[in-house]
Amino acid sequence: MEPSPPVAGDLPELVRDLPSWLLTQTAAYAHRLVGDGLAEIGARRYHYRVLAALAEDGPMSQADLGRRAGIHLSDMVATVNELAEQGHVERTPDPKDRRRNVITLTGPGQHQLQILAHRVARIQDDLLAPLAPAEREVLTDLLRRLLAYHRD
């Protein structure tokens, strides 16, 4: 049996106050919270990202959709298959290049996106419960800035 991960108070102070450690632990918790929350309604994180990308940008090739949603091509095939089987997206051959598929959001897919967006908003509220609305905005801005800096 593996030992339980240390609680922040159990760690040496030099470790528990490291922003990198705090970010990692919070990210792991957030990842689990979103995954579990969506699984309760038969969905996955990838579903939300794909449906959101299609709603924002319209139909696109499966490869472009994978890049837009930040999903590796090998995972995109399974995700699009799942969403197509559920009637949330349609996959049709690209008239300009028959080797490619164009993915389109359906009416039921738009409805599913609303359901998922509502669920994700509730999960965000749970995750950020100890923070006031203004603190949530500041945290989001700081995280966005950190990510943008390190992506560049």
Of the two residues 45 and 14, the one the predictor is more confident about is 45
- Residue 68 located in a structural domain: yes
Beta-carbon contacts of 106 under 8 Å, excluding residues fewer than 6 positions away, are 87, 88, 89, 90
- Residue 65 located in a structural domain: yes
pTM to 2 decimal places: 0.86
Looking at the predicted structure, is the pLDDT value of residue 95 above 90?
Answer: no
- Residue 94 located in a structural domain: yes
Please provide the average confidence, as pLDDT, over all residues in the chain: 92
What span, in angstroms and rounded, lies between the C-alpha atoms of 125 and 34?
Answer: 11
According to DSSP, the residues that pair with 89 across neighbouring strands are: 105
pLDDT tens by residue, 12-42: 988 988 999 999 999 999 999 999 999 999 9
- Residue 144 located in a structural domain: yes
Looking at the predicted structure, is the pLDDT value of residue 7 above 80?
Answer: no
- Residue 109 located in a structural domain: yes
Domains of the chain: total:
1
* Mean pLDDT score, 105-113: 98
Residue pair 6/15 in contact (Cβ under 8 Å)? The answer is no
CATH code for the domain of 78: 1.10.10.10
Q: Which structural domain, as residue segments, surrounds residue 121?
A: 27-151
- Residue 44 located in a structural domain: yes
- Residue 108 located in a structural domain: yes
